[in-house]
Structure 1
């Protein structure tokens, strides 16, 4: 069996872009992952790495995009995603370029909002649990 998977956890840089592809919702979003380290001179260095995520709804229209991303994901929210790394090649002005993205589709993908239950394969996040309000102690 062959497998390639990448995990990204960070803050969404802008509200997701939602579009339709053959009657299926697709969301594109960028996630900032911050890296901090100390260089040889003892100085703290902060770097931000941007990851493009492409999430696909299930064929039933009740998948990851409709149930989680469209209603809940906004600029600044922290997310956790696991998906398939995609490297696309394209040519522009006679020069070949490469583009990297993380594809979230199907059972091999996981997407969570910070503090929410997993939305694997397109399931909705857990709703807020108010059961603790009923505990008498």
Structure 2
């Protein structure tokens, strides 16, 4: 599962996600699981190289640098699929959204739950693809 927060046009952003080696800033990669009409996902932020770190020649040993801002973020998202019989689109409604931050230098864990309301996190509309199934008949190759 891919998730990206961007101020760019959706068509521009979507074209950048076609490559599996993309390192777009703000990109989250993870896994999801269906449970009835609910989707639960766990996503992690993709690391981008920091150009401010010092690199040393191959013959010298690199100095151990501990970046105090080095952290790992894990996002937990739970959404519900709501079908509308009158309409051709379905809705993804936000149920839970939180982030757990682990600071590597100190080992400190910080968990933040986001306040979900229709203004900040409106439901997402999408068209369901009915030709796909939740189960496969053989392993994917």
TM-score (norm 2): 0.33
| Structure number with higher relative contact order (C-alpha < 8 Å, ≥ 6 residues apart) | 1
Higher strand content, 1 or 2: 1
Larger helix proportion of the pair:
1
Larger radius of gyration: 2
Question: Structure 1 length as normaliser, TM-score?
Answer: 0.33
